[in-house]
C-alpha cells in the first residue's frame, strides 16, 4: 500500500491556491513539501493543518493506493 496526494494537488488547483502559497501560509518545511510531491509519508499533524486550511476532510487530500506485486 502507498499513499497518494494527487487529490491535494487537484484541490489546490480548484481553489486556485499555489503550492508555494500553501507552504508559506502553513509554514510547511520545503522537505515536507518534497515528500508530498513524491507521495511519501508525511506527519499526520501536517495533514490536519492542511485540511483545516483548505476546510476539507483528510480523504479529500490523500488516498491509499494498492501496489500490485509482480
Q: C-alpha angle 46/50/55, rounded to 5°?
A: 145
* pLDDT tens track for 12-52: 999 999 999 999 999 999 999 999 999 999 999 999 999 99
pTM score of the predicted model:
0.90
Q: Is the pLDDT of residue 56 over 70?
A: yes
H-helix or E-strand containing 65? strand 63-65
- pLDDT over 90 (residue 69): no
Domain ranges of the chain: 2-65
Q: Where are the alpha helices (DSSP H) in 1-70?
A: 6-14, 19-26, 30-37, 44-54
pLDDT band at 70 (very low <50, low <70, confident <90, very high): low
Per-residue confidence (pLDDT) for residue 43, from 0 to 100 = 96
CATH class of 2-65: mainly alpha
Cell 513539501 -> residue: 33
Backbone phi and psi for residue 39, each to the nearest 5 degrees, phi listed first = 55, 45
The gap from C-alpha 11 to its chain's centroid, in whole angstroms, comes to 10
Band of the pLDDT at 65, cuts 50, 70, 90? very high
Amino acid at each position: 500500500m502507498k499513499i497518494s496526494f494527487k487529490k491535494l494537488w487537484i484541490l489546490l488547483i480548484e481553489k486556485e491556491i499555489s503550492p508555494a502559497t500553501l507552504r508559506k501560509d502553513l509554514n510547511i518545511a520545503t522537505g515536507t513539501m518534497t515528500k508530498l510531491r513524491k507521495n511519501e509519508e508525511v506527519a499526520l499533524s501536517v495533514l490536519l493543518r492542511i485540511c483545516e486550511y483548505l476546510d476539507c476532510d483528510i480523504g479529500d487530500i490523500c488516498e491509499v493506493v494498492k501496489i500490485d506485486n509482480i
